[in-house]
Amino acid sequence: MVSFDCMQLGFRKYRLYAIMTALLAYFFVFFVRTALTVVQTDLQTAFSLTASQFSTLTSLYFYTYAFMQVPAGVLVDFWGPRKTIAVGMLLAAAGSVLFAVAPSYHLLLLGRFIATVGVSPVYISTLKLNDRWFLPSEFIALTGLTTFMGNLGALASSAPLAVLVSHVGWRLSFGLVAAVTALVGIAAFLLVKDSPSAAGFEDFRSVKPLTWKETFEGLLSTLKKREIWFPTAIFFFAFTPLMTHQAAWGARMIQSMFGLGKISASYMVMLISVGFMVGALLAGPTSNKMGEFKFVKTYLTMYALLWVAVLTAQSWNPNWFYGWFFLMGFTATGYTPVWHWAKQIAGAEYSGIGMSIANGGGFLGAALGQILYGVTLDLLGWKNNPIVAFTTGNALLAVFAVLAVVSAFLYHKNRAPKSL
């Protein structure tokens, strides 16, 4: 086996192939996650959907994603990132094809479900590759890079997707997405190596293959650790408001409250991704300088204050939302260290399981939040009374944002390492 040397061209080439392919796959994970917000009107027209039905369609992604996180963590630890990403992306492509051709609401749901099952292990697989191919000190910065790439996908699914849909329609647009997703799956199978040793180099740390018995023992032992539920709670409460607006209701809120067009509103919502991308790139150096806990506390406190401020939105100039969406995305990066904390709690052998538990919490929250938001809008007659309906829904999301800050303080009190 070749000894490790970061300057070796061969090592750097294999590492670049692995991480870039995984990042490209995660681009489409986010694209699929947030794409429905700009085709909401098209889907409601084509299938005569109520707000609750549309929220069910969007939240199905998050319920499925949350449910799949523990199986995904087990699969990644046992099977490895390469096969997991490859098979997942091909399955996602199949789901997107079904979504694109669906003649009924129920088949639309089925296509969304299949696509979500496919993309659900990609993020944990990418973090696992980060853990295997890079030094521990680089992990949070790489997590930020990963979320940057994901939000680039979210950016592409906002105004650019709206323009594409306006030219070729929503069905062909999703068909094109399916084709590219399949190509990424094939590239993952051909290019990704699970670890340096799989490419003939020395690993950073000793890594032994796990049996199914050892994997499930690791799952049970991690679930029994009280500490794992603190980063899970932080992500649960912080992710819910972000995804409710980015993936479902942000553009429609602007359209309903201020009478703006779909493309103009989509450009505003796109700034969530821009803000998150900027924040994600700065997350590593900023958290290293401030300390991880101070970083989380400061950013999530600002995030909560933004959600409280939006309760006065009825008196705003609509252009203020450009800044609000950007800052909301930027400060939401305060939850970035939760996967690092979950990985530490679970231990190196079961890092995929630990990260998947925390990850699942966020997506469960996003699913619940979107359902509650949609039901709130329907109960308050959002089409006839948008100001009251959306303000009430946003008040619910503000409570989630505040609880994210509370969870961060509880984590620090009960578990955070002294170095934080």
Q: What digits encode the pLDDT tens for the residues 289-329? A: 898 899 999 999 999 999 999 999 999 999 999 999 999 99
* 143 closest CA partner among 157, 129, 153: 129
> What pLDDT is attached to residue 151?
76
Q: Which range (7-16, 39-48, 251-260) has the least confidence? A: 7-16
Q: How is the chain split into domains, by residue range? A: 9-194+211-414
Rounded average pLDDT over 55-78: 84
- With H, G, I as helix, E, B as strand and everything else as coil, classify residue 3: coil
What is the rounded CA–CA span in Å between residue 142 and residue 283?
9
Q: Helices (H), strands (E): how many in the chain?
A: 18, 0
Per-chain mean pLDDT for the chain: 87
pLDDT at 416 over 80: no
* Averaged pLDDT, 162-173: 88
Provide the percentage of residues in the chain whose pLDDT is more than 70: 94
Lowest mean pLDDT among 39-48, 135-144, 307-316, 342-351: 135-144
| 215: confidence class by pLDDT, cuts 50, 70, 90 | confident
Q: Is 377's pLDDT higher than 90?
A: yes
Q: What's the pLDDT score for residue 374?
A: 87
Q: What share of the chain is helix, strand, coil (3-state, %, to 5)?
A: 85, 0, 15
CA distance 383 to 117: 33
CA separation for the pair 345, 348 (Å, rounded): 9
pTM for the complete prediction?
0.75
- Whether residue 417 is predicted with pLDDT greater than 60 in this model: the reply is no
Dihedral of CA atoms 72, 354, 272, 37 in degrees, nearest 10, equals 30
Q: From the CB of residue 329, how many other CB atoms can be counted at a distance below 10 Å? A: 28
Averaged pLDDT, 227-234: 94
The alpha carbon dihedral of 369, 370, 374, 380 has a sign of: positive
For the 9-194+211-414 domain, the top CATH level (class) is mainly alpha
Q: What is the pLDDT of residue 206?
A: 64
C-alpha to C-alpha distances, 61 to 113, 164, 305, 388, 389, nearest whole angstrom: 7, 22, 28, 27, 24
- Model pLDDT, residue 209: 65
* Residues 243, 153, 177, 235, CA torsion sign: negative
45 burial via Cβ count (<10 Å: 0-12, 13-18, 19+) = exposed
Question: Which of these ranges, 145-159, 167-181, 405-419, has the smallest mean pLDDT?
Answer: 405-419
CA distances from residue 217 to 80, 146, 182, 201 in whole angstroms, order as listed: 18, 29, 34, 29
**The pLDDT value given to residue 420:** 39
pLDDT category of residue 5 using cuts at 50, 70 and 90: very low
pLDDT of residue 9: 63
Whether residue 251 is predicted with pLDDT greater than 90 in this model: the reply is no
pLDDT at residue 376 is higher than 80: yes
Residue 2: phi and psi, rounded to 5, are -70, 135
pLDDT digits (tens, 9 = 90+) for 98-140: 999 999 999 999 999 999 999 999 988 988 888 888 877 677 7
- Answer whether 76's CB lies under 8 Å from 128's CB: yes
- Report for 274-278, 302-306, 345-349: range of highest mean pLDDT: 302-306
Q: Give CA–CA dist 78/214, Å, rounded.
A: 9
> Quick one: average pLDDT of 17-36?
87
12-26, 136-150, 265-279, 398-412: range with highest mean pLDDT: 398-412
Q: Report the C-alpha dihedral over residues 302, 305, 306, 308, rounded to 10 degrees.
A: 170
Q: Among 187, 153, 180, which Cα is nearest to 85's?
A: 187
Q: How much is the pLDDT for 205?
A: 65
Distances (CA, A) of 18 to 127, 191, 193: 11, 6, 6
For residue 419, what pLDDT band results from cuts at 50, 70 and 90? Answer: very low
Instruction: Give the model's confidence band at 28: pLDDT under 50 very low, under 70 low, under 90 confident, else very high.
Output: confident
